[in-house]
């Protein structure tokens, strides 16, 4: 029997160990390949001259690649642990460490080669459908099918290098002493979790402080920049880790002292849990992080797709707003005539509003008469007495300054109210002071003319916006034109990309979580079978043993889900003043859907695992 034949037979004999690693690797490569297919699409430059979509897809591919590195390293560690007895057997037969490393290296490279070929074939088969979906979601009609030679080569080269380097480095860590130690691990109890209340409390305090600082936008956050966010990420990871490990330790100790400890199979269950508390805590931690990533992808990225219209209207209140600066009267007449003629040709109803304001250009503080304010249609009309003024917002999300009007000599005017929503395009002016008509006449600043139009069913008037923008553009010092229709289309495109990437990332995180759980169950299966066989000799029934196994599975599946959900909800509660209702709705729907999927998955996993355990 040749050496290569031994390698192949070893793979076939342990195919249950490799299958999840193989399939997950294929899945990661397929997703990378598909993102690369879009990122290097030959028509992308025509769709987006600034290559925003291309850069986004390249970044998404890079993230997937980095994630694949971490995942493959973890998988190789799991394999080495599962193959301990096999490697030990070869050592007892006289195999040298060089031969063992060579065997493990060839095994993984064979799996990698088959996985890469499978991923490319699957990617080429799925690519037409993927581009059709991308065309629909991203509304990119020119996303036709093509032969993705560049994406294919990049996927093959990058993942070949990844498997080669990671496998080479990992096999060099295999040492005789480590194999002997792992062999003994089957007969000795794993290390216990040490009590670390100080680390737990410190990590939680630091994480809460940093998260609070981010929400409140404290000065130190801005001064540290990206370092502050990296620090928050690390502190959150540590806080979650210590919470889970210390929580596992406390839960076992409390359960041991509870009266229910001696009922039915609880003593066996808790003892089994105690023997594996460290490995259980680590796997729960990994699953929690991956599920938290899945929930964030679904909540943050999906919810942003559903409030685009609301945000657009907050920024640009009107379908079209044409602002004419002083000295632009003749051109303004032509432009307004063209706009209204174009709108008339559509045959749809629209409202036209004409107004004006005077502005202190240096401070970008505007003054508007109450009659001109009431001529605008996107707010409730007001009335003012001769000694009153009203304030309206100029920038979205910024509370208008209510007192700067007193810097001007308009007499002793009294504040009477504020409109926090934009009355015109955001950023045109910092604030609008609405004053009586008599006071407005005394203002000696340049006057800007406003021509605003609101269309029915404006979200479907893209063609009208394109017609007007092709003829009229913003000219510095003469006019400005803004359309919430065009802004809506641009925002919708960006949110579509976000939605698309969020969906793919959630699939990747979920796939990795299920794969890691599969690895963990597989690596401990033989040891658990031997343990349960010994316990059966004591007198426990098969029903009691399967009950214990089912409870352990429930902990491994539902504790990470519950922990990730609680963390997400806690963060949402802390940011309740910064996020919209749509975010909560999508989060709630997403958690319910995932819960149903986890319940269904639990029954399938339980059935398969217990069948392998008892047979």
**Burial level of 182, CB count in 10 A (0-12/13-18/19+)?**
middle
User: Distance between alpha carbon 522 and the CA centroid of its chain, in Å?
Assistant: 30
Q: Among 430, 447, 482, which residue terminates a domain? A: 482
Residues 504 and 392 in one domain: no
Residues 108 and 163 in one domain: yes
Give the C-alpha separation, 615 to 605, whole Å.
16
Residue whose entry in the numeric block shows the structure tokens 């599920």: 291
Q: pLDDT averaged over the chain?
A: 80
Residues 393 and 351 in one domain: yes
Q: Among 426, 461, 482, which residue terminates a domain? A: 482
Residues 307 and 346 in one domain: no
Query: Residue 138's pLDDT is what?
Result: 65
Residues 173 and 29 in one domain: yes
Residues 17 and 141 in one domain: yes
Query: Residue 357's pLDDT is what?
Result: 93
Query: Residue 536's pLDDT is what?
Result: 72
- Higher per-residue pLDDT: 167 or 319: 319
pLDDT reading at 499 higher than 70: yes
> Is residue 22 domain-resident?
yes
Query: Residue 449's pLDDT is what?
Result: 93
Query: Residue 49's pLDDT is what?
Result: 43
Give tens-digit pLDDT for 185-235: 554 556 778 888 888 888 888 888 887 777 666 666 667 767 777 888 888
Give tens-digit pLDDT for 538-559: 767 777 778 888 888 889 889 9
Residues 266 and 309 in one domain: yes
Query: Residue 147's pLDDT is what?
Result: 79
> Is residue 193 domain-resident?
no
Residues 433 and 541 in one domain: no
Alpha helices in 328-378 (DSSP H): 329-346, 370-375
Q: At what angle do helices 52-82 and 149-172 cross, to 10 degrees?
A: 30
Domain extent at residue 156: 1-188
Kindly state the percentage of the chain with pLDDT values over 70.
Answer: 80
* Pairing mode of beta strands 350-360, 365-369: antiparallel
> Is residue 369 domain-resident?
yes
> Is residue 245 domain-resident?
yes
Q: What is the DSSP string of 25-37?
A: HHHHHHHHHHHHH
Residues 26 and 134 in one domain: yes
Q: Is the pTM of this model over 0.75?
A: no
Q: What mean pLDDT do residues 34-53 have?
A: 64
Q: What mean pLDDT do residues 257-266 have?
A: 78
Q: What is the DSSP string of 104-157?
A: HHHHHHHHHHHHHHHHHHHHHHHHHHHHHHHHHHTT-TT------HHHHHHHHH
Tokens representing residue 358 in the block: 């005077």
Give tens-digit pLDDT for 451-461: 999 998 888 88
Residues 330 and 478 in one domain: yes
pLDDT reading at 118 higher than 60: yes
> Is residue 194 domain-resident?
no
> Is residue 410 domain-resident?
yes
Q: How confident is the model at residue 592 (pLDDT cuts 50, 70, 90)?
A: confident
Residues 284 and 389 in one domain: no
Give the C-alpha separation, 232 to 206, whole Å.
8
pLDDT reading at 102 higher than 90: no
Residues 83 and 148 in one domain: yes
Q: Among 161, 188, 215, which residue terminates a domain? A: 188
Q: How many CA atoms lie within 13 A of 506 on its CB side?
A: 18
What's the domain count of the chain? Answer: 3
> Is residue 487 domain-resident?
no
Give the C-alpha separation, 558 to 599, whole Å.
9
> Is residue 52 domain-resident?
yes
Give tens-digit pLDDT for 131-165: 777 777 666 665 667 778 888 898 898 888 888 88
Contacts for 553 with CB less than 8 Å, ≥ 6 apart: 602, 605, 606, 609
């Amino acid at each position: 029997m040749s050496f290569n034949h031994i390698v192949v037979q070893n793979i076939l004999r342990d195919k249950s160990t490799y299958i999840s690693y193989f399939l997950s690797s294929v899945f990661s490569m397929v997703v990378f390949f598909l993102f690369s297919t879009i990122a290097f699409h030959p028509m992308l430059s025509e769709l987006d001259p600034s290559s925003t979509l291309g850069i986004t897809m390249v970044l998404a591919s890079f993230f997937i690649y980095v994630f694949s590195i971490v995942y493959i390293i973890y998988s190789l560690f799991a394999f080495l642990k599962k193959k301990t007895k096999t490697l030990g057997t070869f050592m007892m037969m006289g195999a040298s460490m060089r031969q063992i490393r060579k065997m493990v290296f060839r095994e993984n490279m064979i799996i990698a080669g088959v996985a890469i070929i499978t991923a490319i074939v699957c990617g080429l088969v799925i690519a037409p459908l993927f581009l059709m979906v991308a065309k629909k979601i991203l509304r990119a009609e020119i996303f036709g099918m093509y032969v993705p030679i560049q994406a294919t080569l990049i996927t093959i080269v990058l993942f070949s290098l990844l498997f080669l380097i990671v496998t080479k480095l990992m096999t060099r860590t295999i040492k005789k002493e480590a194999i002997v130690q792992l062999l003994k691990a089957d007969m000795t109890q794993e290390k216990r979790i040490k009590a670390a209340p100080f680390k737990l409390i410190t990590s939680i305090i630091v994480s809460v402080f940093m998260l609070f600082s981010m929400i409140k936008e404290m000065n130190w956050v801005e001064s540290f920049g990206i370092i502050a966010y990296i620090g928050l990420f690390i502190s959150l990871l540590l806080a979650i880790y210590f919470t889970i490990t210390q929580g596992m330790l406390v839960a076992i100790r409390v359960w041991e002292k509870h009266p229910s400890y001696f009922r039915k199979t609880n003593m066996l269950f808790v003892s089994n849990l105690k023997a594996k508390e460290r490995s259980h805590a680590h796997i729960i931690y990994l699953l929690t992080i991956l599920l938290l990533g899945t929930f964030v992808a679904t909540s943050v990225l999906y919810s942003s797709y559903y409030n685009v219209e609301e945000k657009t209207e907050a920024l640009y209140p009107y379908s079209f707003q044409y602002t004419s600066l002083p000295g632009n009267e003749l051109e303004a007449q032509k432009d307004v005539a063209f706009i209204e003629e174009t709108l008339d040709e559509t045959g749809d109803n629209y409202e036209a509003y004409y107004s004006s304001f005077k502005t202190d250009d240096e401070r970008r503080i505007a003054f508007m008469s109450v009659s001109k304010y009431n001529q605008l249609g996107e707010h409730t009309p007001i009335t003012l007495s001769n000694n009153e003024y009203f304030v309206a917002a100029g920038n979205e999300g910024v509370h208008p300054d209510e007192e700067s009007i007193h810097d001007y000599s308009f007499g002793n005017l009294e504040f009477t109210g504020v409109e926090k929503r934009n009355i015109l395009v955001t950023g045109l002016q910092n604030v609008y002071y609405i004053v009586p008509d008599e006071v407005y006449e005394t203002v000696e600043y340049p006057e800007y003319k406003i021509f605003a139009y609101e269309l029915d069913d404006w979200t479907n008037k893209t063609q009208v916006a394109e017609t007007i923008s092709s003829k009229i553009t913003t000219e510095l010092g003469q006019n400005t034109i803004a359309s919430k229709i065009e802004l809506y289309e641009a925002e919708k495109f960006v949110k579509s990309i976000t939605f698309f990437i969020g969906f793919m990332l959630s699939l990747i995180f979920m796939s990795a979580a299920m794969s890691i759980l599969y690895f963990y169950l597989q690596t401990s299966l033989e040891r658990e079978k031997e343990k349960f066989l010994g316990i059966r000799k004591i007198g426990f029934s098969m029903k009691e043993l399967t009950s214990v196994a089912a409870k352990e599975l429930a902990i491994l599946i539902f504790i990470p889900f519950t922990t990730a959900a609680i963390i997400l909800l806690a963060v949402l509660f802390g940011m309740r003043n910064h996020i919209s209702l749509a975010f909560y709705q999508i989060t709630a729907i997403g958690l319910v859907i995932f819960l149903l999927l986890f319940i269904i998955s639990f029954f399938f996993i339980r059935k398969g695992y217990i069948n392998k355990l008892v047979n």
